[in-house]
């Protein structure tokens, strides 16, 4: 029995072969391009070999450099070198340095040149203490910076130099935030203004879960107000209260407290 192919069938066969050849060519081109990209990441002049550290010295600088170099070891997905200056794990380095050193307020990592990474750190400056959620239940004290971040266990003698704050801390590991940054800054500014007004030190500030604040002076006087009222409003009402008859007849040190939580109605108690 004889057989012959129709012209249309031959055409489909040629097209199928052509598609196979094109697919093979594209695959080869992509493989060549990918291999070239991988090869470029291994060029010696794009590999980080030096790490410089600014902001700390001695053993601290050495420890920072060690952490950075650990992140530069190995490869991404077993292919791309992690110490390539174009794809080094910058975010991971910054995150790990913050976690390892809560005292670092800022960490900046950048390429100084194609072979060197430069790390710049800035330490937090202590401004106050956090010593637990309430004065009635003190806890080990931690240093607070100007943003209200608890970052380091304080020395036992630190209480003589700083105002002590009480209240909740956010987070589980250092650094941890006391209140939010804006309310904390408002509280510290208010404490400074009241110290200047009365000429005596604010010993402690306690913020309870309801948002009530008790600002306690070294001579025993206490001002009670609501955190949401804001420092400026609280200060204005306190200055007005000093002009009232009871405060004209007695020095502030004779009072146990002044309660400013109820608007224009002020409550006080003598010792």
Tens digits of residue pLDDT in 190-238: 999 999 999 999 999 999 999 999 999 999 999 999 999 989 999 999 9
Tens digits of residue pLDDT in 24-67: 656 655 655 555 555 567 788 899 999 999 999 999 999 999 99
pLDDT exceeds 60 at position 166: yes
Asked if residues 187 and 168 have their Cβ atoms less than 8 Å apart, the reply is no
More confident residue, 73 or 44: 73
Rounded to an integer, the average pLDDT of 127-135 is 96
Q: What is the mean pLDDT of the chain?
A: 89
The answer to which of 11-25, 98-112, 115-129 has the lowest mean pLDDT is: 11-25
Rounded to an integer, the average pLDDT of 121-132 is 97
Dmax (CA) for the chain in angstroms is: 130
pTM above 0.75, yes or no: yes
pLDDT exceeds 90 at position 102: yes
pLDDT exceeds 80 at position 85: yes
pLDDT exceeds 50 at position 127: yes
Q: Which pLDDT value is given to residue 159?
A: 75
More confident residue, 175 or 34: 175
Strand 80-81 with 75-76, pairing: antiparallel
Q: Which pLDDT value is given to residue 160?
A: 79
Q: In what order do the strands lie in the sheet with 104-113?
A: 50-54, 116-123, 104-113
Rounded to an integer, the average pLDDT of 108-136 is 97
Q: Which pLDDT value is given to residue 6?
A: 47
pLDDT exceeds 60 at position 5: no
Tell me how far apart the alpha carbons of residues 160 and 163 are, in angstroms, rounded to a whole number.
8
Q: Which pLDDT value is given to residue 22?
A: 61
Residue 57, judged by CB atoms within 10 A of its CB (0-12, 13-18, 19+), counts as exposed
Strand 222-226 with 202-207, pairing: unpaired
Tens digits of residue pLDDT in 149-161: 999 999 988 877 8
């Amino acid at each position: 029995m004889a057989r012959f192919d129709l012209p249309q069938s031959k055409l489909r066969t040629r097209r199928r072969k052509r598609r196979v050849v094109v697919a093979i060519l594209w695959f080869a081109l992509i493989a060549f391009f990918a291999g070239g990209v991988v090869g470029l990441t291994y060029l010696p002049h794009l590999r980080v070999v030096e790490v410089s550290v600014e902001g700390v010295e001695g053993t601290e600088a050495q420890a920072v450099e060690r952490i950075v170099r650990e992140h530069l070891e190995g490869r991404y997905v077993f292919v791309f070198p992690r110490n390539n200056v174009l794809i080094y794990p910058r975010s991971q380095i910054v995150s790990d340095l913050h976690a390892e050193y809560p005292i670092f307020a800022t960490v900046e990592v950048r390429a100084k040149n194609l072979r060197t990474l430069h790390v710049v750190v800035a330490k937090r400056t202590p401004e106050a203490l956090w010593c637990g959620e309430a004065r009635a239940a003190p806890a080990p004290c931690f240093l607070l910076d100007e943003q209200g971040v608890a970052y380091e266990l304080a020395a036992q003698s630190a209480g003589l130099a700083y105002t002590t704050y009480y209240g909740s801390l956010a987070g589980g590991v250092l650094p941890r935030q006391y209140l939010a940054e804006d309310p904390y800054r408002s509280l510290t500014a208010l404490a400074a203004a009241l110290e200047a007004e009365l000429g005596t030190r604010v010993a402690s500030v306690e913020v309870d879960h309801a948002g009530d604040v008790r600002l306690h002076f070294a001579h025993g006087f206490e001002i009670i107000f609501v955190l949401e009222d804001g420092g400026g409003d609280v200060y204005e009402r306190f200055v007005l209260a000093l002009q009232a008859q009871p405060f004209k007849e007695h020095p502030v040190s004779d009072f146990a407290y002044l309660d400013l939580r109820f608007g224009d109605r002020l409550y006080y108690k003598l010792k």
